[in-house]
Amino acid sequence: MKLQSYIAGAWVEGAGQGRQVVDAVHGEPVCTVTSDGINMAEAVRYARDIGGSGLRAMTFHERAAALKAIAKHLMEKKEDFYQLSFKTGATRADSWPDIEGGIGTVFSYASLVTRELPNDVVLVEGDMERLSRNGSFVGRHILTPKVGVAVHINAYNFPVWGMLEKIAPSLAAGMPVIVKPATPTAYLTQAVVKEMLSVGTLPEGAIQLICGSAGDLLDHLNEQDVVTFTGSASTGQALRNHPNLIANSVPFTMEADSLNCAILGQSVRPDDEEFALFIKEVAKEMTFKAGQKCTAIRRIIVPEESIDAVVDALSVRLAKMTLGDPTQEGVRLGALVSAEQADDVRSKVAELTSEATIAYGSDQAMPLVGLESNAGAFYPATLLRCENPLEAEKIHSVEAFGPVATVMPYSNLGDAVTIARLGKGSLVGSVYTYDDVEARTIILGTAPWHGRMLVLNRDCAGESTGHGSPLANLVHGGPGRAGGGEELGGVRAIKHYMQRTAIQGSPTTLMAITNEYHAGAREKHDVVHPFKKYFEQLAIGETLVTHRRTVTEADIVNFGCISGDHFYAHFDDIAAKDSFFGQRVAHGYFVLSAAAGMFVDPNPGPVIANYGLENLRFVEPVPAGTTIQAKLTVKRKIKKARRGDDKPNGVVVWAVEVSNQNQELVAVYDILTLVERQED
């Protein structure tokens, strides 16, 4: 079977015989893969003109709804993906973070976008910058989708998650994608893409798939495109230096395999809980996915007085990692992705033994559960031991991309930090200690060399996601050898596919561009109270100026009695005179309450509920005798998707300014209200 690509709205076969891909467990042919003859220029054009225009016409929330529908469908089809994943050599436990973790990442981004981004096609970032004395000239930053295509070149080890964690933020940003999976596991990626396309919630051209070589794809990219890469550092560097990418300054994000470390604190003793947690986590990260993880632990850094105990405990644990057919019950260590990969690991281990000895494991005798002979790509868990890590070079530069790690001693925390740094940049490092001072010393000493760091101890172990698990809301990437890139991290990932632009002009013009009120913009006044209007009837910049109210001594005393807040600045004349205020003042929260009393219409209307309060600042004190007045302005509107039988509604963000009789601001904040919509 020849694996098809999806290009310009159709499934197409590459020309020629292609490369044969075999089942990693049984050695049987699965498919052939080739992209020869595929028109890469047409794929790029189709993404830009068809997919991009369709995506950019959708709001953030509409894209999020499309992603959520896709994730729900993929979850319904997950068992089909698990069956295919067995052919890659992965056990079901290995495949869970790839398949369900990948789908979960799409769910996470759909939720995050709905929660944190506007229901609009432009993202406004940061506060307004006042650029002139009188405020008639202001600045703001906006982000808009790049008018190009995101090319995602993925590694073989996570054919589902590796694709979905990239395309979810790309599509959320409004940028179409071309996915180029690694050939050895492209058949699993293709199966997922087919199901994604069947949902039909995304515009045609939003997703394309190239199975096989990228060919001349990168030759057709320009300044509006983005390339991401996951894989070996050498391949990544070659792609990064592609002449066309350099000539057009095409953003290139690289996430490369790294020599990640796990550090056992010097305070930890073999009978401590943290020691057991360390052994469990290291063994898991060595063997999970047969060690084929960019986040796998490769260097095990331990106190010199504990190295024998660590080697013994790890050897016992690794001996329980049953090797064999991943479909068989009890098998905990599956196959590598291919015979070529197994040979590569074997050669790298031989290279590492010039500086280390084998403490556990050997590929000379590998009993395999469920298999009569070794036709697959198996390699056993192997633990190396290096006695002089500060003098070694290969253990800090050569990676055996399989179930292999090296344990090495340190004499003090300074040496532990130095050894960790010798990896020259990692995706993740982990520290195991119950001593918070020790944890701080190690983290601050090694953080500049790491994209993520985990501190694991008895307090968090029960709920920790572990050393090797990237999360959608935290950044994934690392400096130096790890590629210098950054993925995930919540909204940060979406912004990688958007252009940040500083805009300058009058507050009124910027309000029109951003759909957000800016202080000093032209206000709109109406005889109808804004709380009497439905969501659609409210205009950005619509303003209500309230009547005035003079704050009295009785107000301060009564509010203190009701709230229980008898802070000296409100009740102690002598202390207040000696304080920052110079006299007794009203409670800040009384000012908020009084302002609400002035601008709220008490009668039933479209306003359903108060939804929250943001950006509160008390600017000036309010002593008794101060006359206050509030101004309420529609700052931003967020249309919400209807849920069940709820009335259709949206969130209205109101900018509130409370001033005194001298027109000085005493409080500023935003309130959010849930307002009924007339349309469904």
Q: Which residues are catalytic?
A: 255, 294
Spatial distance between the Cα atoms of 630 and 656, rounded to a whole number of angstroms: 7
Q: How do 382-385 and 649-659 pair as beta strands?
A: unpaired
Helices 92-116, 161-173: inter-axial angle, 10-degree rounding: 10
Are 329 and 337 within 8 A, CB to CB?
A: no
CA angle 597, 600, 606 (to 5 degrees): 155
Helix ranges restricted to H, 319-466: 339-352, 413-421, 436-446
Spatial distance between the Cα atoms of 541 and 530, rounded to a whole number of angstroms: 11
Q: Which helix (H) or strand (E) holds 649?
A: strand 649-659
How many residues comprise the chain?
680
Helices 588-599, 553-563: inter-axial angle, 10-degree rounding: 100
Q: Tell which residue, 488, 485, 510, has the closest CA to residue 125.
A: 510
Are 99 and 93 within 8 A, CB to CB?
A: no
Helix ranges restricted to H, 159-232: 161-173, 186-199
Q: Which helix (H) or strand (E) holds 666?
A: strand 665-676
Q: Does residue 184 sit in helix, strand or coil?
A: helix
Sequence letter at residue 387: E
Structure tokens given for 236: 């990544």
Contacts with 373 (C-beta within 8 Å, 6 or more apart), sequence order:
none
Structure tokens given for 389: 């890590």
Q: Tell which residue, 78, 145, 79, has the closest CA to residue 106.
A: 78
| Cα distances (angstroms) measured from residue 86 to each of 94, 245, 352 | 9, 37, 30
Are 352 and 392 within 8 A, CB to CB?
A: no
Residue 278, exposed/middle/buried by CB under 10 A (0-12, 13-18, 19+)? buried
Q: Tell which residue, 492, 488, 494, has the closest CA to residue 165.
A: 488
Sequence letter at residue 133: R
Helices 186-199, 78-86: inter-axial angle, 10-degree rounding: 170
**Cα Dmax for the chain:** 92
Structure tokens given for 191: 């199966």
Are 493 and 476 within 8 A, CB to CB?
A: no
| Virtual torsion, Cα 57, 63, 66, 67, nearest 10 deg | 150
279 phi and psi angles, rounded to 5 deg: -60, -45
Q: Beginning with the edge strand found earlier in the chain, give each strand of the sheet holding 138-145 in spatial order.
A: 123-130, 138-145, 498-505
Q: Does residue 161 sit in helix, strand or coil?
A: helix
Spatial distance between the Cα atoms of 28 and 19, rounded to a whole number of angstroms: 14
Spatial distance between the Cα atoms of 134 and 153, rounded to a whole number of angstroms: 51
CB atoms within 10 A of CB 155: 24
